Chain A
Amino acid sequence: MTLADARALVGDFAVFEHDIQADQRWLERLADYCERYTPMVSCDPPDGLLLDITGCGYGYDGEAGLVRDVEQRFARIGMTMKAALAYAPEAAHALARFQTVPASDEYLAVRRLGITALEAEPETETALRRAGLKTIADLATRPSAVLTARFGDETTDKLARLLGKADSRITPRRPLPALAVERRFAEPIAKVAFALDILTALAGETAQILESRSNGGRRFIARFFRSDGAVRDIMVETGLPTRDPAILERLFRERVDALADPIDPGFGFDMIRLGVARLEPIAPTQLQLEGGSVADKEVAELIDRLSIRLGRNRVHRFIPRDTHIPEQAELALPAIEAPVTAAWKEPPEGEPPMRPIHLFDPPQPIEVIGASVPDGPPARFRWRRTLHEIIHYEGPERIAPLWWRMAQGEGLTRDYFRIEDVRGRRFWIFRHGLYGTERQNPGWYMHGLFA
């Protein structure tokens, strides 16, 4: 029916554009909500959710009780829904959408579905009908070789999965945590401080389990399920595997304090889950006489805290890279995962510093006056509105671009000069491009400042 036809019939009604994105977001949010029942949740767009609730009926009076709970909760947030329980995801999907006649059990129910439940191509469906095959039961009794020959692999595969003859599983939306503990509340708790206390208790439980496996966690995810359906994740990460509840508590508090938008308990949380996403064995540590390992551990814990407060990409350790391009010669890695040891080259003895302590990225253009050609240094230059008179210089240190880029005509040779002006400032400047061959009028740049 077109919109004009509908208006002619009913007259006065509101019209909205179909917002597929918003629908998808809402479905994702409902999926988050359903993770209270099982971590195995996947979206079945456009309007379905698939939950693997095998072994999850505990606390709900069995699987039927769990379904009742879902229905109640969804009714509370204003969603009408149709739930179906079956032995395979495809079967549940089909039962929820196409079941018209009741049946005593799910196997029978699936067999009584019409062939529309196959959701095959319209031509296939028509062909099946013409052949007099009207229900799934009709197809199930035929030998599959015959069906494959007539209707193709796809139909028989789908049928096998629908009947539970082929293995079919849910791919969860998120990777499952290696370990998870949770606590549910009869009354939602509306205080964040109390929720954090519960989290500490959960951390204690986790610690016991981890201890029995002599493991520690590297990444912990606390998930707060709000009673109105919103779910909030808080993640902390540690550089060394840990299972100490006190450390975890401190990290979580740190994280919650540093949140840009604080946790909003709304009408309260009714479930909190603590998942350990990464497990690693904890090696027994031996104390060194000088207390080296204690100091290392303290620093590692400090790095964890700083990484949580400032963000993991704001706490760096440096590792060297094997390249002669100055700005690429080192890599700032998140300290939480960077290796502590790296092979740095010792500077040659008796030489002054050859590299600046502050590096500009990108280099800043300078105005050069009186540079001697073809490869001499400037006599003076202007940078940040100040004129610098050069008195000492060393160079050029010629740094060629990467040869494979030079072959493509990209990249220019840089001639670096270590210079000192009359007032004792030390700079690292370069000429971008060889005079005459690469550039007629090469530009000059300030790349760094020496101490």
Chain B
Amino acid sequence: MVNMKHESLLSIAALRRHIASIERHNGARSTEIFAFGAASVDQELGGGLALGRMHEVFAATADNASSAAGFALMLAIRASTHGGAILWLRQEQAEFQAGRLHATGLAELGLNPERLILGIAPDTQTLLKAAADSLRCAGLGAVVIEPWRSPYAIDLTVSRRLGLAAEHSGVTAILLRSDAAPVPSVAQSRWEVSGTLSTPLAANAPGGTTFDIKLLRHRGGRDGLAWRVEWNRDRQIFHETPLSGAILPLPAGGPLAAHGKVTPLRQAG
């Protein structure tokens, strides 16, 4: 009896060691983060989001798909400030129905298109397989994975596979869901994005890219927070703008121009 008890104690100790080794393995790479640049966001996030993890970006409604794509790109840019190519994996249907990814437009958001590789998969399964393979390539800066609708294909197993691959190589994965509802996943953070009114420039022209972002979930941090941020293309960081929704009587030129010189006349076209 005593002997048996001793043995079970031994095996429990062995199990504990095993669990500890697994935890060590997971915990070893959690230190590096990338910041948004907007102080209030970074403060709530504890400095920023973790590199080498998976982050999910959802569009608030289907017609916010482009805003969500833009936000995903901005996260990818922030996560790969050290350089490296950004791989964007899409599906054929997205290219046909949601519009082709326009490299010139991405350049306008601050990505040098030289760094962009676009992969187009015929279906979700192929896309996810390609994504898992790509995430193992440590030479990449970030991977944007954009499945087209199909909420069932992405389950916990798939997201765990992607998450582990990202963790192992240190490549940040951005899972972009334009027209889908959140499902359980191992993502480090989950965002909901909708485009919002920009601060108009001179002559009532649309201003810089402004989003309402909502942090739906943040592993090991607070969630349920919301901000209104504007993307500064030139410095490749976010700025916060007040969440009131009202258009503030800012000087002509807006916050974008305020960083550089204010030009009373803009060249339009």
Query: Which A residues are within 8 Å of any B CB, using their own CB?
Result: 294-299, 301-303, 305-306, 309-310, 314-318, 320, 326, 329-330, 332, 335, 340-342, 344-345, 347-361, 384, 386, 391-398, 416, 418-420, 422-426, 448-451
**Residue in contact with A394 in the complex, picked from B71, B122, B206, B263, CB distance below 8 Å:** B206
Q: B119, A418: Cβ atoms under 8 Å?
A: no
Against A, the Cβ 8 Å flags (1 = close, 0 = not) of B83-123 are: 01101000000000011111111111100111011111110
Given contacts A302-B134, A310-B121, A450-B66, contact A393 B204 (CB under 8 A): yes
Spot the interface stretch: B6-14, B148-156, B160-168, B253-261: B253-261
Given contacts A357-B102, A423-B197, list 17 more A-B pairs with CB under 8 A: A299-B117, A301-B137, A306-B133, A309-B130, A341-B114, A342-B113, A352-B256, A353-B108, A353-B233, A357-B66, A357-B106, A358-B98, A361-B99, A392-B200, A397-B269, A425-B63, A426-B198
Kindly state the separation between the CA atoms of A301 and B87 in the bound complex, as whole angstroms.
Answer: 13
Q: A342, B206: Cβ atoms under 8 Å?
A: no
Q: B205, A451: Cβ atoms under 8 Å?
A: no
Given contacts A358-B69, A392-B204, contact A349 B105 (CB under 8 A): no
Residues of B within 8 A of A329 (CB): 104
Given contacts A349-B234, A352-B207, A416-B269, contact A357 B70 (CB under 8 A): yes
Kindly state the separation between the CA atoms of A329 and B108 in the bound complex, as whole angstroms.
Answer: 14
Closest to B113 in A: A318
Residues of B within 8 A of A357 (CB): 66, 69-70, 73, 101-102, 105-106, 108-109
Q: A297, B139: Cβ atoms under 8 Å?
A: yes
Kindly state the separation between the CA atoms of A317 and B101 in the bound complex, as whole angstroms.
Answer: 12
Given contacts A342-B113, A353-B108, A359-B100, contact A393 B139 (CB under 8 A): no
Q: B108, A354: Cβ atoms under 8 Å?
A: yes
Q: Is B126 an interface residue (CB 8 A)?
A: yes
Give the Cβ gap from B269 to chain A, nearest Cβ, in Å: 3
Give the Cβ gap from B197 to chain A, nearest Cβ, in Å: 4
Q: A424, B204: Cβ atoms under 8 Å?
A: no
Q: B113, A451: Cβ atoms under 8 Å?
A: no
Residues of A within 8 A of B107 (CB): 344-345, 347, 355
**Residue in contact with A298 in the complex, picked from B63, B138, B231, CB distance below 8 Å:** B138
Kindly state the separation between the CA atoms of A93 and B203 in the bound complex, as whole angstroms.
Answer: 83
Kindly state the separation between the CA atoms of A315 and B117 in the bound complex, as whole angstroms.
Answer: 7
Residues of B within 8 A of A354 (CB): 108, 269
Q: B268, A344: Cβ atoms under 8 Å?
A: no
Query: Which B residues are within 8 Å of any A CB, using their own CB?
Result: 63-67, 69-71, 73, 84-85, 87, 98-109, 112-114, 116-122, 126, 129-130, 133-134, 137-140, 194-198, 200-201, 203-212, 231, 233-234, 256-257, 259-261, 263, 266-269
Kindly state the separation between the CA atoms of A423 and B60 in the bound complex, as whole angstroms.
Answer: 12
Q: A350, B268: Cβ atoms under 8 Å?
A: no
16 contacts between A and B (CB under 8 A): A298-B137, A301-B137, A306-B130, A315-B118, A316-B119, A335-B117, A353-B108, A395-B269, A418-B206, A423-B196, A426-B66, A449-B65, A449-B66, A450-B66, A450-B70, A451-B211
Residues of A within 8 A of B207 (CB): 352, 392
Kindly state the separation between the CA atoms of A365 and B73 in the bound complex, as whole angstroms.
Answer: 28
Given contacts A344-B113, A392-B205, contact A360 B100 (CB under 8 A): yes
Kindly state the separation between the CA atoms of A393 and B133 in the bound complex, as whole angstroms.
Answer: 43
Closest to A296 in B: B139
Kindly state the separation between the CA atoms of A133 and B20 in the bound complex, as whole angstroms.
Answer: 100
Q: B205, A418: Cβ atoms under 8 Å?
A: yes
Residues of B within 8 A of A352 (CB): 198, 201, 205-209, 256
The A interface, classified by DSSP as helix, strand, loop or mixed, is mixed
Residues of A within 8 A of B212 (CB): 424
Q: B233, A355: Cβ atoms under 8 Å?
A: no
**Residue in contact with A448 in the complex, picked from B73, B102, B204, CB distance below 8 Å:** B102
Given contacts A330-B113, A451-B66, A451-B67, contact A425 B195 (CB under 8 A): yes
Residues of B within 8 A of A301 (CB): 137
Give the Cβ gap from B36 to chain A, nearest Cβ, in Å: 16
**Closest 10 A/B residue pairs (Cβ):** A451-B70, A397-B269, A358-B99, A298-B139, A295-B139, A353-B108, A394-B205, A318-B103, A449-B66, A424-B196
Q: A359, B102: Cβ atoms under 8 Å?
A: yes
Give the Cβ gap from B167 to chain A, nearest Cβ, in Å: 17
**Residue in contact with B206 in the complex, picked from A306, A316, A358, A392, CB distance below 8 Å:** A392
Kindly state the separation between the CA atoms of A432 and B238 in the bound complex, as whole angstroms.
Answer: 36
Given contacts A317-B116, A330-B104, contact A353 B109 (CB under 8 A): yes
Q: Which of A315, A341, A361, A419 has the most CB of B within 10 A?
A: A315
Residues of B within 8 A of A425 (CB): 63-64, 66-67, 195
Kindly state the separation between the CA atoms of A361 and B98 in the bound complex, as whole angstroms.
Answer: 10
Residues of A within 8 A of B69 (CB): 357-358, 451
